[in-house]
Amino acid sequence: MRIRVRFFAGARELVGGGSMEQRMAAGSTLQDLVDVLFASCPALCEQRLRFAVNSTYAPPETILHNGDEVACIPPVGGG
């Protein structure tokens, strides 16, 4: 199955772009995808990212489906 992954802020700079498509096996979880992303770009591990599936924050055990969009969202600061 194909998952669209979107990157924001510092994560976008680390991977060199705003989005990518990742192929995953049927039945893969969000954690499986995160493991693939961290293996391909180890610097992402240091980002304290949160993940959203189809615009909703999701726990690691969330099952992914073909065509899902996963957003990698770094911490937001401001004041």
Residue 53, domain CATH: 3.10.20.30
Tell whether 79 is covered by a domain.
no
Q: Could you list the pLDDT tens digit for every one of the 79 residues in the chain?
A: 999 999 998 899 989 899 999 999 999 999 999 999 999 999 988 888 999 999 999 999 999 999 999 999 988 766 5
Tell whether 18 is covered by a domain.
yes
Tell whether 28 is covered by a domain.
yes
Tell whether 78 is covered by a domain.
no
The confidence score (pLDDT) of residue 75 equals: 80
Tell whether 49 is covered by a domain.
yes
Single pTM value for the model? 0.91
The confidence score (pLDDT) of residue 78 equals: 60
Closest by Cα among 53, 49, 45 to 22: 53
Domain count within the chain = 1
User: Tell me, what amino acid is at 75?
Assistant: P
> DSSP character for 24?
-
Owning domain of residue 20: 2-73
